[in-house]
């Protein structure tokens, strides 16, 4: 969450780590950017599981945060999306 060490991500991959977890808010988005840069540099997106977390108060807010995260990660999808802090299930329901 606070690591600014792309080499750590590279080395983790080299020794067999295949699940990388980050979040929209870690280091103001820098962590997602760093994870995305390294995964892209290694060319291993199809070999890893990427998880990220977003926090918002509305469906539109969650979707906006997700789009920002995808841009930072330089990916068209994440494998696991954690939605932090919904106060009621209506916040997670798809828009009509």
Burial of 54 (0-12, 13-18, 19+ CB in 10 A): buried
- Of the residues 13, 26, 62, 82, which is catalytic? 26
Q: How far apart are CA 9 and CA 17, in angstroms?
A: 9
Q: CA nearest 45: which of 83, 89, 79?
A: 79
Q: How far apart are CA 37 and CA 25, in angstroms?
A: 17
Is 13 in the active site? no
Question: Which residue numbers are catalytic?
Answer: 26
């Amino acid at each position: 969450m606070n690591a600014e060490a792309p080499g750590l991500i590279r080395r983790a991959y080299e020794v067999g780590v295949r699940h990388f977890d980050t979040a929209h808010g870690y280091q103001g988005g820098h962590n997602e950017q760093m994870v995305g840069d390294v995964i892209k540099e290694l060319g291993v997106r199809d070999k890893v599981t990427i998880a990220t977390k977003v926090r918002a108060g509305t469906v539109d807010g969650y979707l906006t945060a997700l789009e920002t995260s995808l841009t930072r990660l330089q990916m068209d999808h994440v494998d696991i999306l954690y939605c932090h802090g919904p106060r009621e299930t209506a916040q997670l329901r798809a828009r009509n």
